[in-house]
Structure 1
Amino acid sequence: MTIADIYKIYTEHFLVDTDTRKIRPNTLFFALKGDNFNGNKFAKEAIKLGAKYAIIDEAEYKISGKTILVANVLETLQNLAKYHRSKLTIPVIGLTGSNGKTTTKELINAVLSKKYKTTATIGNLNNHIGVPLTILSITPKAEIGIIEMGANHQKEIEFLCSISTPDFGYITNFGKAHLEGFGGINGVIKGKSELYTYLINNDKTAIVNPYDAIQVEKTENCKKILFSSDTQFLEADPFVKISHQNIIIKSNLIGKYNYTNIAAAITIGTYFNISIENIKDAIENYIPTNNRSQVIKKDDNIIFLDAYNANPTSMEAALENFSLIKEKSKTVILGDMFELGIETDEEHQKIVNLSDKYSFDNTFYVGEHFFKASTTNKKFKNFEELKNYVIKNPLKNQSILIKGSRGMQLERVLEFIT
């Protein structure tokens, strides 16, 4: 069966699923494989739960009239997404960057959905599986697509662009994330800039922060839309407040670093003729979730939770911002940063040096990498040691910054802050 044949079946309901726990009636179930699972084994269950067909690549799981046998399920999913994208006539916005991708995507979606029917990446499903699934979630009712693309090595953004074929592209920034996979900061810049290469080669348009020298340089030969000079940063104490066309916008996002995320949403919204009143309303009503830039009040403590992920660039920005917040007593809890390769020890020591310089009331470093660093502040080899300390030494009347890589799951400490 060809991709065109499978596409004909797909367009009957525009439904694709990969998890039998979330099967929808008349969906196409793609039996993906992973290191610890084989989706082919769940084909029969998917059909039983209501899937119209199951796409498999192992003949032993064939069910007459109910399965479609292909050479490779993942490649079929990706090719089906490419085929669907080629049929779409709506504008698609592609996003990548080292930090702030998901927040920027959510802001853009909030703004554009004031006028248009949008389809955007759910959460951070931004890889070689998530991008195809997002493309295939775009139905004929959609008017704009917003696709987040993540990468931890070179050529990945190039591949994801070949699936999503964005009409507009925005790179949030170039930071010290996934240094191990990219081979250093220059590799990060090269890898993320694959989005610009796609835009240039296909005569598409980049959204550019004119104050980011790398963005300006890399888009020299690209059609572009610049941030408006009317968009001005006012303050972040703790929430970001900006001015656009002399209208004050008060966001629910902490940290000056979120200013450019907001500015990107304003720029794109303006291009697509969203009124400033609707832009303001969308941004002011966006509430961050999932451990990103969240402010939580717990008893007599104010917690600044930014524990979804971390790298040296985002860690530096978070510490700088926290140092500027006008609170009397401050505690910092920092967890290890991962995927830094040979620069791991050096980058953790730099963060320790920076954090120690601010002389917060309490500074706690958590994880094996931070434990190796030189500091007079408290270090914990693992989360359990931190938990036990916090239970025995309760934090009271504190403003607390919690930040670390996803693998550290530092949000768990909330349970023990009373």
Structure 2
Amino acid sequence: MTQTLRNIIPIIKANWIGQNDVAVIDAISIDSRSLQNGENTLFFAISGPNNDGHSYIEELIEKGVKHFVVTHIPEKVSGKANFLVVENTLEALQKFASYYRSLFDFPIIGITGSNGKTIIKEWLNFLLSPDYNIIRSPKSYNSQVGVPLSILGINEKHNLGIFEAGISTMNEMEKLQKIIRPTIGILSNIGSAHDEGFPSVAEKIKEKLKLFTSVNVLILNKNKTINAFVNQKIKTFSWCSDDKSADVYITKKNTGDLTELQVTYKEDTFPIVIPFQDQASVENAIHCMMVMLYFGYNHKVIQTRMAQLYPVEMRLKVKNGIYNCTIIDDSYSSDFQSLKIALDFLEHQKQHKKKTLILSDIFQSGLNNEELYSQVSQLIISNKISRVIGIGETISQYKSKFINSVTFKNVVEFAQSFDRLNFENETILVKGARDFHFEEIVSMLEEKTHETVLEINLNAVSHNLNFFKSKLAPKTKMMVMVKAFGYGNGGFEIAKLLEHHKVDYLGVAFADEGISLKNAGITVPIMVMNPETTSFPAIIQHHLEPEIYSIKGLKAFLKIAEQKKLKNFPIHLKIDTGMHRLGFEEEHLAELISILKDNETVQIKSVLSHMATSDDLKHDAFAQSQIALFEKLSTQLLSALKIKPIRHILNTSGISNYPDAQYDMVRLGIGLYGISNDEEEQKYLENVGTLKSVISQIRTIDQGESVGYGRRFIAEKETKIATIPIGYADGIRRSWGNGLGYVVINNKPAKIVGSICMDMLMVDVTNIDCKEGNAVIVFGENPSVNHIAKQLNTIPYEILTGISQRVKRVFFRE
């Protein structure tokens, strides 16, 4: 994409204020944190409920960005850049994308529905790429922002587009239709996702169908409910398994792990075998086959390619690697647009100064190889990659374009040289096309642990953070608690994501937690909530900020600070308003003021307290008394010392239940991890952690035989037992066994039988179709942490923080 500002100004109806309207633009950005922003980037300062892009303009100018689309020019940056002033920056982005789409005239496939959009898109890309140069939405870029950014990736060499459109409420699809302008439509499965955003299912269907107002053909599963809403003027190409009047009639038969489809089309009947049995995958595959039929592919080509369909991995995963490395696994796709996204993710999640990229040949860029690898080289330079390992015949030819690089023709050559590549203390992005089998590279690099993993959904963390941010006044700051290994979810990775979201403070319980984060490169201010006096020197050394809660502690800290000749070192004062755990009480205030008056060794960054009953409105009177006492004592302190520090008293439940007590900052804890004690609020939070394992062994026992220690389970009939490699040493409470708890296998609950062992538990799978190696959900959506805690008469904190660190954490982003 190459445009000048002069061309863009009338398209987005902007008022230009600047010095150079002929400046060349070759990149569009909405992310201030991307290292790919440069002097030819046009930055759209989009304002949302939780962030305002205008806040980052000064920082971006310092990094070399010169061109901005804004609703207003912040006073500090007036005259320092080119500004295109519009009424709404998101609408401006959409207008520009719509204009850009109009410059190209080739088939565009638009996909919408509740489920399956990304899988259909990726499978179509696989099935059609031998014959077309395809541009498609990277990852799941299907939103009001994602769609325009996807469209702006088109170039002159592309001759087929495949784009997703996702909506969550009314009056959104019309905007996406104007941007995508599909010529071929696919309506995938209509399910319950985002039902809350629509008055009824009927309105939801009508809204989704707005994507197809101008298509040449709409491909869909023939269904009376859907057909009632389809405009009769739109040509449809339908399929069905129970209505022979559909254009394509399909019958299905399962054979082993495969599904055989008998396809009847234009009086011909032919078989297609696909390597899946689940209904969702079969439906997604049929939609793809329908596109191939519409494009006129012969039966043999369709049969051959459909048989090669594969599970789609839609997530970027962060894993622990060998020799203190961190692995970012994106080993199933290699295209230019998704490489940009993966490099941004690498920067957000890097745990080491050294960054390595393992990259395969890149396909379907729409560029010639010389131009493509020149642009890849620029991406790598802007993202400050330390070394590049290229794998593939083509990338090997362009090795000279990469600084500190080594290339191999294939994974076999790489494996032969593995030991001399010396992987150690680095973050490694593994980014390769599926044909290169980069999962073998990930396996070589990954730290070897047992098959139980806690998967952490970083998208859900971001969602939950933004949910609670939406409850805050615009100027209220946010501290997020990452103590206790991020409530069991992983400390650094969560902290890095929070830093990416520009939270104001992180909170840890003890100094060693904060030191680990600082050593790993976290730069957000970190408050140590429960510092021991022996840790004060280390706190000072690592620039942590201690909470001071007693006269004794204050004097001890001041003594060390004075010895080190510190000036204005940040500290935080804790007031006890009724929790009676830690903090200065009212009777201590005079002495506290006396000690701190005119003291320049320390600076009081905040004054805080902690509520004891914010989660239980039965104790509202007590909570209100705490807030009132905090107001009284903190005001007295601020007045006497003539200071204006941050004040904060609210925790997660306080944010929701006592919004009038936000003061200057709030402290978000377990809510970030998708846990609320309020059933209504819980509906709006997303599950963050899913504890998974596998079936190690299956056996059948006879009536009267027992399972586990103490023979606490005796079979009343012939019973099929599966053993799962997770036990109380991994954090599963023994009391969750003996028929109380369950795991989920193939979407069915399997009751835990007998006592949970140190490293294993056993479940009854008599009525479940499963085999050794199948995945097991220990907790996640079902059973939820809330449910387990309730059954065990405890709290969700104890379940989450109890998961042993020997359980591997895998972080992923959709």
TM-score bucket (shorter structure) = 0.5 to 0.7
Among 128, 145, 150, the alignment partner of 1:134 is 150
Distance 1:94 1:401, change over 3 A: farther
Of residues 258, 265, 270, the one that matches 2:288 is: 265
| CA spacing shift, 1:182–1:78, aligned 2, 3 Å | same
TM-score (norm 1): 0.65
Name the stretch that deviates more: 166-175 or 270-279. Answer: 270-279
Aligned AA (1:271)? Y
The answer as to whether partners of 1:30 and 1:56 remain within 8 angstroms in 2 is yes
Greater Rg, structure 1 or structure 2?
Answer: 2
Query: Deviation digits for residues 203-250 of structure 1, max 9, x if unmatched?
Result: 63211223x333444334421223463765332755555466745443
Structure 1 counterpart SS, 2:248? coil
Q: 1:281 — aligned with what? A: 305
Is 1:290 the counterpart of 2:304? The answer is: no
1:368 corresponds to: none
Closer, same or farther: CA 216–123 of 1 in aligned 2, 3 Å = same
Show the counterpart of 2:129.
113
Q: Return the alpha-carbon distance in structure 1 between the equivalents of residues 458 and 256 of structure 2.
A: 21
Are the counterparts in 1 of residues 116 and 284 from structure 2 also a CA contact under 8 Å? yes
The reply on whether 1:233 has 2:247 as its aligned counterpart is no
- Once the two structures are TM-superposed, the CA of residue 395 in structure 1 deviates from its matched residue by 5.0
Give the 5 Å matches for 1:95-106.
95-106=111-122
1:103 Cα deviation (Å)?
Answer: 1.0
Kindly provide the CA deviation profile for residues 396-418 of structure 1, in whole angstroms up to 9, marking residues without a partner as x: 75633549669x89xx9998499
Deviation at 1:39, TM superposition (A): 1.6
The alignment status of 1:250 with 2:274, answered yes or no, reads yes
Q: Is the 8 A contact 1:208 1:216 kept in 2?
A: no
* SS in structure 2 of the partner of residue 284 of structure 1: coil
| Aligned counterparts of 1:150 and 1:69: Cα–Cα separation in 2 | 28
Distance 1:254 1:416 in 2: 31
Q: Distance in 2 between matches of 1:231 and 1:206?
A: 18
Aligned length: 342
Q: Residues 27 and 50 of structure 1 are in contact (CA less than 8 Å); yes or no, is this contact kept in structure 2?
A: no
Please tell me whether the aligned partners of residues 97 and 171 of structure 1 are also in contact (alpha carbons under 8 angstroms). Answer: yes
Note if 1:400 corresponds to 2:775: yes
Secondary structure of 2:285's counterpart equals: helix
- The amino acid across from 2:281 in the alignment is N
Q: TM-score, normalised by structure 2?
A: 0.36
Deviations 1:149-174 (A, max 9, x none): 11122222233213222212111122
Kindly report which structure 2 residues correspond to 1:84-233, keeping only aligned pairs within 5 A, or say none. 84-196=100-212, 199=213, 202=214, 204-210=216-222, 212-219=223-230, 220-227=232-239, 229=248, 232-233=251-252
Letter of the 1:378 counterpart: G
Could you tell me how far apart the structure 2 residues matched to 1:259 and 1:133 are?
30
1:249-277, Cα deviation, whole Å (9 max, x unpaired) = 433x5612211211111211332345556
Preserved contact between residue 137 and residue 147 of structure 2 (Cα < 8 Å) = yes
Letter in 2 for 1:235: N
User: Which residue type is aligned with residue 173 of structure 2?
Assistant: I
1:399 aligned partner, one-letter code: N
CA distance in 2, matches of 1:65, 1:265: 47
Aligned to 1:371: none
Whichever residue aligns with residue 113 of structure 1, its letter is S
Aligned residue number for residue 329 of structure 1? none
Instruction: Decide whether the 8 Å contact of 2:252 with 2:262 is kept in 1.
Output: yes
Structure showing the higher helix proportion among its residues: 1
Contact 2:132 2:159 in 1 (8 A): yes
Distance 2:292 2:150 in 1: 21
Contact 2:25 2:42 in 1 (8 A): no
Deviations 1:315-360 (A, max 9, x none): xxxxxxxxxxxxxxxxxxxx99xxx999x8xxxxxxxxxxxxxx99
Distance in 2 of aligned mates of 1:86 and 1:92: 12
Amino acid paired to 2:292: G
Give the number of the structure with larger relative contact order, counting CA–CA contacts within 8 Å between residues 6 or more apart: 1
- Identify if the C-alpha distance between structure 1 residues 290 and 85 changes in structure 2 by more than 3 Å, giving closer, same or farther: closer
In the alignment, which of 34, 41, 65 is matched to residue 55 of structure 2?
41
CA contact (8 A) 1:117 1:143 kept: yes
Code of the residue aligned with 1:265 in structure 2: it is C
Check 1:223–1:248 CA distance in 2 against 1; reply closer, same or farther (3 A cut): closer
Contact 2:6/2:22, CA 8 A, preserved across alignment:
no
Partner of 1:16: 28
Structure 1 pair 130–116 and aligned structure 2 pair: CA distance change class (3 A): same
Structure 1: how far apart are the matches of 2:96 and 2:291? 29
Question: Quick one: structure 1 residues 302 and 416, their matched pair in 2 at CA, closer, same or farther if it must change by over 3 Å?
Answer: closer
Distance 1:288 1:97 in 2: 18
How far apart are 1:78 and its partner, in Å?
Answer: 1.0
Over residues 53-73 of structure 1, what are the superposed CA-to-partner deviations in whole Å (9 max), with x where a residue is unaligned? 232333124454444333322
| More displaced 10-residue stretch of structure 1: 275-284 or 213-222 | 275-284
Cα pair 1:206 1:225 within 8 Å, conserved: yes
Deviation digits for residues 104-144 of structure 1 (CA, Å, limit 9, x no counterpart): 12112222222111111112221111111112222222212
1:68 maps to 2:84? yes
- CA-atom RMSD in angstroms: 4.7
* Counterpart code for 2:280: Y
Partner secondary structure for residue 99 of structure 1: coil
Q: Hey, what does 2:741 align to over in structure 1?
A: 378
